[in-house]
C-alpha cells in the first residue's frame, strides 16, 4: 500500500470508530444521566430505601409545614408527589410553587429525608409588576420548569 | 485574507493599536457607564429581588470567558498554520484575560448561588464545565510560563488550546442536555428571550461593554507583548555587543 | 506491517525493565489506595461507599504519572526521528505505543484493583463494576495522556506540566467511570447508561487522540 493509501485507510478506520462511539452515546442518552430525578421518574424506577439521590420538582402549594428548624413539604411534578422532611436553613428562593432540588436519602417509609435543599431558579427574569400583570391576565404558564 | 496580511505585521499592528485604542477604550467606558446605570436602575426581579443585579456582571463575564477561548482558538490556528508571531502574542494574552473573566464569572455565580440556591457551589454540568474551562486556562498559562517565549511553547499552547476547545460546546449546551441546577439559557433561546425588556437592555449593553472591554484589554496586552519581546531582543543584542544591558546598578559585583 | 508488532514488543520490554514505568505504576497505585484510609478514617461503610472513586482517582494519577516519558525517551535517543521518516504513519506508531504502554502499566493496575477493592470493603458486584469500568476507561486515560505527553515532549521535567494540561480533559472519563462503577452495586442509574458513555468516550479517544498526539509531535519535531 502506498503512504497515501495507508493514511486514507487510517482516516477511514478512525471515522468508523467515531461513528461507533456516536452510536453508543445515542444509545446511552435514551436513559439520560441527570443531576436530579423527578418524583415520577423515582416512582417508575422503584429505588431501594437507603439510596442517596437528588429529587427535583416544585414545592406543592400549601404543603409547607414549619416547626422551628424542621420543615416538611411535598415535592411534586404535577403527576407524582414525594413527602420530604428537612432540618436547617432554607434558601431565599424557597417558596411554595417554586422549583427545588433536594439531596438526601429515601426512607423505608417512602418519605424522603433531605440533607440539603437547593432552590432551582427558572430562566425567566421579570419585574414584580410585570409578573403580577401576567398573572392577572391569565397568561401565566404556571411555575413549571 | 488581505486584511490578515495587512494587520498581521507587528509594526502595523502597533500603529493600528495606537490609533484604535482611544476609540476602543472610549466606547468601552461609555457603554460601561450606560450599562451600569441600567443595571442599578433596572427593576428588581419578582423572585430574586435585588440579588438579580449580580446577573449584570455574571452573564457578561461568562460570555467573555467563552469569547476569549474562541479568540484564542483562532489565534492558535494562526500559530500552527501561518506561524505568525502576532497570533502567538494574541494566544498568549487571551489566556490570561480569559482566566480572569472565568474567575469573575465563577465568583459572582457563587455569590448569587448562596442566597438563591442555598449553596456556593454544586457539581452540576454547567458549573463543572465552567470550572474545567478555568483549569484549561490555567494550564495554558503554565505552559507559557514554563516555556518562555520559544516558538515551541507557542505551538504546545496552540495544540492544547485546540484540544481543549471541546469544552466550549459542552458549556453552552450543558443546561439543555442535562437536568442542571443552573437555569437554562434566557437570551438566546427558541421562542425569544425570557427576560423582561426592562432587564434585558441593561444586560445586552453590559455584554457589549464587556466584549469591548475584553477587546481593549486584549489589544493593549498584545501591544505590550510585542514591545516586551522587542525589548528582550534588543537587550540580548546589546549584551552580545558587549554593552551593559540596562541599569548599571543591576549588574552583579565584579 | 511487521514493523508494528516489533514496535509493540520493544515498548513492552522497555516499560517492563527496571526504571521503566510498568512496575512502579502498580506500586504507586497501591500506595495511593493505602493512604486514603489513613486520611478519611477506616470506617467500613464510608470506605465501601467511596471505594470505587478512590480506585478510579488512584488509577488516573498512576496512569498520568507513568506517561510523561512516553515520547521523551524516543526523542532523546533519536528513534522519534525514525518514526517521522518511517513508511508507517506516525498516528499508527503512536497508537501502538499507547497500546503497549497500556498493556504494561494499565493492565497490572486493573489486575491489582480487585484485591485493593477487597481492602476497601467492596461488595462482589461493586468489584466487578470497578474492574469492568477500569478495563474500559483506562485506555482513554492513556490515549488522552498521550496528547499531553506529545505536547510536552521537548519540555525538560514536563511531568507536572503534562498533568496540569491533561487532568481537566480526563474529567469526563472520571465522571462516567465512577458513576458506572457505583451503578453496578445498586443506586438509581442503570449500569449500562454511564458504561455505554464510558465506552463511547474511549472509542472517541481511540479515533481522535492518535491524530492529535501525532500532530503535536510533528509540529514540535520541526
Domain spans in chain B, listed from the N-terminal domain onward: 20-184+197-230
Q: Across chain C, what does the average pLDDT equal?
A: 85
Q: Is the pLDDT of residue C185 over 80?
A: no
Phi then psi for B217, rounded to 5 degrees? -60, -35
Whether the predicted pLDDT of B250 surpasses 60: no
Are residues A55 and A84 in contact, defined by beta-carbon separation less than 8 angstroms?
A: yes
Q: CB within 8 A of C20, min separation 6: which ones?
A: C14, C104
Rounded to an integer, the average pLDDT of B195-201 is: 79
The larger pLDDT score, comparing residue B246 to residue A56, is at A56
Listing DSSP states for B212-237 in one string gives HHHHHHHHHHHHHHHHHHHHHHHHHH
Q: Residue B58 in contact with residue B112, Cβ under 8 Å?
A: yes
B20-184+197-230 architecture in CATH?
A: Up-down Bundle (1.20)
- Contact of A126 with chain C, judged by CB distance below 8 Å, is answered with no
Mean pLDDT throughout B83-105?
92
Taking the model in full, what pTM does it have?
0.78
Mean pLDDT of C20-39: 82
Q: Are C107 and C23 in contact (CB under 8 A)?
A: no
Judged against a pLDDT cut of 70, whether residue C55 lies above it is answered with: yes
Q: Best-predicted range by mean pLDDT among B144-153, B175-184, B236-245, C54-63?
A: C54-63
* Residue B189 predicted with pLDDT over 70: no
Q: Report angle CA C139, C141, C144 to the nearest 5 degrees.
A: 105
Q: In chain A, whose CA is at the least distance from the CA of C195?
A: A28
Contact of C157 with B142, CB cutoff 8 Å:
no
Indicate the pLDDT class of residue B65, thresholds 50, 70 and 90. very high
Q: Which residues are CB-contacts of B116 (< 8 A; sequence separation ≥ 6)?
A: A91, A92, A93, A119, A121, B48, B51
Nearest to B152 among C154, C169, C215 (CB): C154
Q: Is the pLDDT of residue B248 over 60?
A: no
Interface A-B: count of C-beta contacts within 8 A: 98
**CA quadruple B160, B162, B163, B166: dihedral sign:** positive
Please, are residues C144 and C205 in contact by the beta-carbon 8 Å criterion? Answer: yes
DSSP E strand stretches across chain C: none
Cell 481593549 belongs to residue: B216
Q: Is a pLDDT exceeding 90 seen at residue B67?
A: yes
B139 CB neighbours in chain C (<8 A) are 164-165, 168
Q: Is the pLDDT of residue C14 over 80?
A: no
Can you give the pLDDT at residue C104? 86
Contact A92 B185 (CB under 8 A): no
Q: Tell me the C-alpha distance between B149 and B140, whole Å.
A: 13
* Residue A108 reports pLDDT greater than 50: yes
E runs forming strands in B48-99? none
Residue B253 has pLDDT above 60, yes or no: no
Return the ∠ at Cα B197 (arms to B193 and B198), rounded to 5°. Answer: 140
What's the average model confidence in pLDDT over C126-153?
A: 91
Q: Assign B134 a pLDDT band (cuts: 50, 70, 90).
A: very high
How many Cβ atoms from other residues are within 10 Å of residue B117's Cβ? 27
Does B160 lie at the interface with C, CB-CB under 8 angstroms?
yes
B178 chain-A contacts, CB cut-off 8 A: 32-35
pLDDT tier at A90, thresholds 50, 70, 90: confident
Segments forming the whole domain that contains residue C12? 3-221
Helix (H, G, I), strand (E, B) or coil at A94: coil
pLDDT score of B22: 92
Output the nine-digit C-alpha cell for B19.
Answer: 490609533
Q: Do C200 and A28 touch (CB under 8 A)?
A: yes
pLDDT of residue A144: 39
Q: How many folded domains does chain C comprise? A: 1
> In the prediction, which pLDDT does B1 show?
43
Amino acid at each position: 500500500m502506498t503512504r497515501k493509501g495507508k493514511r486514507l485507510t487510517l482516516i477511514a478506520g478512525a471515522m468508523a470508530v467515531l461513528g461507533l462511539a456516536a452510536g453508543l452515546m445515542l444509545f446511552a442518552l435514551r436513559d439520560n444521566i441527570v443531576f436530579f430525578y423527578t418524583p415520577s421518574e423515582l416512582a417508575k424506577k422503584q429505588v431501594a430505601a437507603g439510596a442517596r439521590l437528588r429529587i427535583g420538582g416544585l414545592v406543592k402549594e400549601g404543603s409547607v409545614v414549619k416547626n422551628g428548624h424542621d420543615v416538611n413539604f411535598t415535592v411534586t411534578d404535577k403527576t407524582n408527589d414525594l413527602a420530604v422532611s428537612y432540618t436547617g436553613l432554607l434558601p431565599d428562593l424557597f417558596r411554595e410553587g417554586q422549583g427545588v432540588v433536594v439531596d438526601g436519602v429515601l426512607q423505608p417509609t417512602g418519605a424522603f429525608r433531605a440533607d440539603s435543599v437547593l432552590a432551582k431558579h427558572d430562566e425567566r427574569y421579570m419585574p414584580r409588576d410585570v409578573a403580577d400583570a401576567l398573572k392577572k391576565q391569565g397568561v401565566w404558564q404556571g411555575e413549571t420548569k | 485574507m488581505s486584511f490578515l496580511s495587512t494587520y498581521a505585521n507587528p509594526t502595523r499592528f502597533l500603529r493600528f493599536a495606537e490609533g484604535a485604542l482611544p476609540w476602543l477604550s472610549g466606547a468601552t467606558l461609555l457603554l460601561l457607564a450606560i450599562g451600569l446605570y441600567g443595571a442599578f436602575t433596572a427593576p428588581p426581579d419578582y423572585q430574586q429581588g435585588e440579588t438579580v443585579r449580580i446577573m449584570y456582571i455574571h452573564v457578561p463575564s461568562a460570555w467573555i470567558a467563552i469569547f476569549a477561548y474562541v479568540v484564542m482558538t483562532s489565534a492558535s490556528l494562526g500559530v500552527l498554520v501561518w506561524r505568525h508571531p502576532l497570533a502567538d502574542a494574541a494566544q498568549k494574552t487571551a489566556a490570561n484575560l480569559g482566566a480572569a473573566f472565568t474567575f469573575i464569572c465563577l465568583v459572582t455565580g457563587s455569590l448569587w448561588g448562596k442566597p438563591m440556591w442555598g449553596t456556593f457551589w454544586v457539581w452540576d454540568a454547567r458549573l463543572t464545565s465552567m470550572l474545567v474551562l478555568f483549569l484549561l486556562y490555567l494550564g495554558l498559562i503554565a505552559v507559557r510560563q514554563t516555556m518562555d517565549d520559544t516558538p515551541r511553547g507557542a505551538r504546545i499552547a496552540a495544540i492544547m488550546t485546540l484540544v481543549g476547545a471541546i469544552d466550549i460546546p459542552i458549556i453552552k449546551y450543558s443546561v439543555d442536555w442535562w437536568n442542571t441546577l443552573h437555569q437554562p439559557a434566557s437570551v438566546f433561546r427558541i421562542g425569544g428571550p425570557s427576560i423582561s425588556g426592562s432587564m434585558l437592555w441593561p444586560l445586552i449593553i453590559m455584554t457589549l461593554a464587556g466584549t469591548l472591554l475584553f477587546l481593549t484589554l486584549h489589544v493593549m496586552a498584545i501591544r505590550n507583548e510585542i514591545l516586551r519581546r522587542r525589548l528582550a531582543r534588543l537587550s540580548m543584542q546589546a549584551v552580545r555587543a558587549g554593552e551593559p544591558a540596562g541599569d548599571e546598578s543591576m549588574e552583579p559585583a565584579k | 506491517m511487521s514493523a508494528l508488532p516489533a514496535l509493540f514488543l520493544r515498548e513492552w520490554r522497555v516499560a517492563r525493565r527496571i526504571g521503566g514505568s510498568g512496575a512502579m505504576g502498580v506500586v504507586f497505585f497501591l500506595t495511593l489506595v493505602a493512604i486514603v484510609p489513613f486520611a478519611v478514617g477506616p470506617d467500613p461503610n464510608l470506605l465501601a461507599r467511596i471505594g470505587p472513586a478512590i480506585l478510579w482517582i488512584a488509577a488516573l494519577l498512576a496512569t498520568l504519572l507513568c506517561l510523561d516519558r512516553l515520547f521523551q525517551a524516543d526523542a532523546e535517543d533519536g528513534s522519534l526521528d525514525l518514526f517521522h521518516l518511517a513508511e508507517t504513519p506516525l498516528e499508527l506508531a503512536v497508537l501502538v505505543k499507547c497500546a503497549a504502554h497500556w498493556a504494561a502499566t494499565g493492565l497490572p493496575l486493573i489486575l491489582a484493583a480487585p484485591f485493593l477493592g477487597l481492602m476497601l470493603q467492596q461488595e462482589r458486584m461493586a468489584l466487578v463494576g470497578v474492574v469492568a469500568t477500569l478495563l474500559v476507561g483506562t485506555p482513554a486515560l492513556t490515549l488522552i495522556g498521550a496528547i499531553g505527553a506529545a505536547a510536552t515532549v521537548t519540555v525538560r521535567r514536563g511531568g507536572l506540566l503534562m498533568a496540569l494540561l491533561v487532568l481537566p480533559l480526563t474529567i469526563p472519563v472520571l465522571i462516567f467511570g465512577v458513576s458506572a462503577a457505583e451503578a453496578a452495586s445498586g443506586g438509581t442509574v442503570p449500569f449500562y447508561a454511564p458504561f455505554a458513555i464510558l465506552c463511547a468516550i474511549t472509542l472517541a479517544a481511540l479515533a481522535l487522540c492518535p491524530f492529535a498526539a501525532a500532530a503535536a509531535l510533528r509540529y514540535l519535531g520541526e
